[in-house]
Amino acid sequence: MKQSKLFPRARKEAPKDEVSKNAQLLIRAGFIDKLMAGVYTYLPLGLRTLKKIENVIRDEMTKAGGQELLMPSLHPKENWQITGRWDSLDDLFKFTSFYSETELALGPTHEEVISPLVKKFNLSYKDLPLGLFQFQNKFRDEKRAKSGILRGREFLMKDYYSFHTSEEDLDKYYENMKTHYENIFARCGIGNVTHLTFASGGSFSKYSHEYQAITEAGEDIIYVCPKCSVALNREIADDNGKACPECGNKNLEEKKSVEVGNIFKLKDKYSSPFNLKFTNDKGEDKPMIMGCYGIGLGRLMGAITEILSDENGMRWPAEVAPFKAHVLEIGKTNDDVKKAAEELSVKFEAAGIDTLHDDRDDVRAGEKFAEADLIGLPYRIVVSDKTLSSGGVELKLRNETAGKIIKTNEILNEIQKL
């Protein structure tokens, strides 16, 4: 992709009312634009990043046995009355259809849609366990939407629901899901600061689990056990007298954090109001046991921004970076430099390395370097008269301070090794 064609071309300052670091960086770098509090457009660079994150999550959820579907955002009032959440959820967006005069909700989550959906197909024990997931925009009337894309009023979520014949089967499925969640956060570059966190399981389960990533930008407080690396959220810490549920250690470290995902044993919380059952091997109807597993994609992207950025800008891990390589033409417009940069970009793309090629003639070198750091692609390749006369191009990783000259015909090989 040629940077001269990239929308938006000009970088802009973040709006004055934008207080969070993630939104400031992402707006300045042209990844997102703010429409109103908690509502953002994903511009081409931002959408590429979001899609890369989506692909990592899809890959892990498919490996967990899930099948992808897509449910609607518009929900009928009745489904939400059946669970009592029409009245009990204070952040539910509700409105009345002008023509039909029926009341509707904009989906904040999908238990009220998936439970009656699965019921329609009269599943038997042979169909279970079943895992269904989607990537879908959720709507919640969040009161404090001040954290950029960490807390949207409209936001993309992966929500996964599992269906089981027994609690034992759910337990097994749930444990396996933890591994895939760990893989997701590791592949997104924040595995080392993301802790499995014990949270309340409500009235029907002892614990649920949150995945909390440590960052000053977080609105949550967790207590991390330095011995086994699990954590407790505030509610559980208060109940447990601040002792680790795994090893009993009482020296826990208090940290600010953001919940990037969570997993929950719903058991029959939603199957029972919808009368969702399965047929067992004796032909009897039994209540379906359920689990649910969420991840906010925008929140995860915002957490990566907050956690991995430095004073010069963002630092995307290769797997979720909008482009992997950033080829910069530096110096006066010069045919040799242009030609070499162009050839490299074509070669990289052909080898499956997404490349942003800064081909702009009207931008000074200093500005190109500063923008490259701000956007934060993992591999920066500078092509200039100077690098060509020293025998090649300069490769600098975003995580390192010094670059090194590499022969032009070896650079692809070098990057593939990274």
Which 91-130 positions form the footprint of ligand ATP (CB under 6 A)?
A: 109
Which of 299, 324, 326, 357 touches ligand ATP (CB under 6 A)? 299
- Among 261, 291, 317, 322, indicate the residue that binds ligand ATP (CB under 6 A): 261
CB–CB of 83/111 below 8 Å? yes
- Rounded CA-CA distance 81/87 in Å is 8
Is 161 a residue that touches ligand ATP (CB under 6 A)?
no
Q: Which of 125, 175, 134, 158 is nearest to 289 (CA)?
A: 125
> Are 41 and 27 within 8 A, CB to CB?
no
Q: Which is nearer to ligand ATP, 146 or 338 (CB)?
A: 146
Name the residue nearer to ligand ATP (CB basis): 217 or 328.
Answer: 217
With binding defined as CB under 6 A, does residue 190 bind ligand ATP?
Answer: no
The 3-state DSSP class for residue 317 equals: coil
CB closer to ligand ATP, 302 vs 392: 302
Bridge pairing between strands 207-214 and 220-224 = unpaired
Binding flag, residue 157, ligand ATP (CB under 6 A): yes
Q: Which of 294, 317, 322, 392 binds ligand ATP (CB under 6 A)?
A: 294
Nearer to ligand ATP, 151 or 195 (CB): 151
Contact 202, 299 (CB under 8 A): no
Give the one residue of 151, 255, 267, 368 binding ligand ATP; rule: CB under 6 A.
151
β-bridge pairing 231-233 and 194-200: parallel
Binding span for ligand ATP by CB under 6 A among 25-33, 151-159, 305-313, 340-348: 151-159
In the complex with ligand ATP, the residue whose CB is nearer, 143 or 407, is: 143
CA gap 252, 244 in Å, rounded: 8
- By CB under 6 A, is residue 155 in contact with ligand ATP? yes
Closer Cβ to ligand ATP, 233 or 384, answer by number? 233
**How many degrees, rounded to 5, is the angle at CA 418 between CA 409 and CA 384?**
40
CB of residue 299 vs ligand ATP: minimum separation in angstroms? Answer: 4
Say whether residue 262 binds ligand ATP (CB under 6 A): yes
Question: Please, which residues have CB within 8 angstroms of residue 141's CB and are 6 or more apart in sequence?
Answer: 90, 91, 92, 93, 153
Q: What are phi and psi of 279, to 5 degrees?
A: -95, 125
- Among 94-102, 259-267, 366-374, 375-383, which window interacts with ligand ATP (CB under 6 A)? 259-267
Helices and strands, number each (H, E), in the chain: 12, 21
Distance CA 412, CA 400 (A): 19
Supply the minimum distance, in Å, between the C-beta of residue 153 and ligand ATP.
7
Smaller CB separation from ligand ATP, 57 or 382: 57
Which of 66, 291, 296, 322 touches ligand ATP (CB under 6 A)? 296
Q: Nearest CA to 385 among 338, 345, 418? A: 338
Q: Which residue is nearest to ligand ATP (CB)?
A: 296
Does residue 8 have a cis peptide bond before it, meaning omega lies within 30 degrees of 0?
Answer: yes
Q: What is the CA radius of gyration of the chain?
A: 24
Residue 142 contacts ligand ATP per CB under 6 A: yes
- How far apart CA 156 and CA 188 sit, in angstroms, is 17
Told to check if 148 binds ligand ATP by CB under 6 A, we report no
With CB under 6 A as the contact rule, the residue among 170, 260, 381, 415 that binds ligand ATP is 260
Which residues of the shown chain bind ligand ATP in the complex (CB under 6 A)? Answer: 109, 140, 142, 151-152, 155, 157, 259-262, 294-296, 298-299
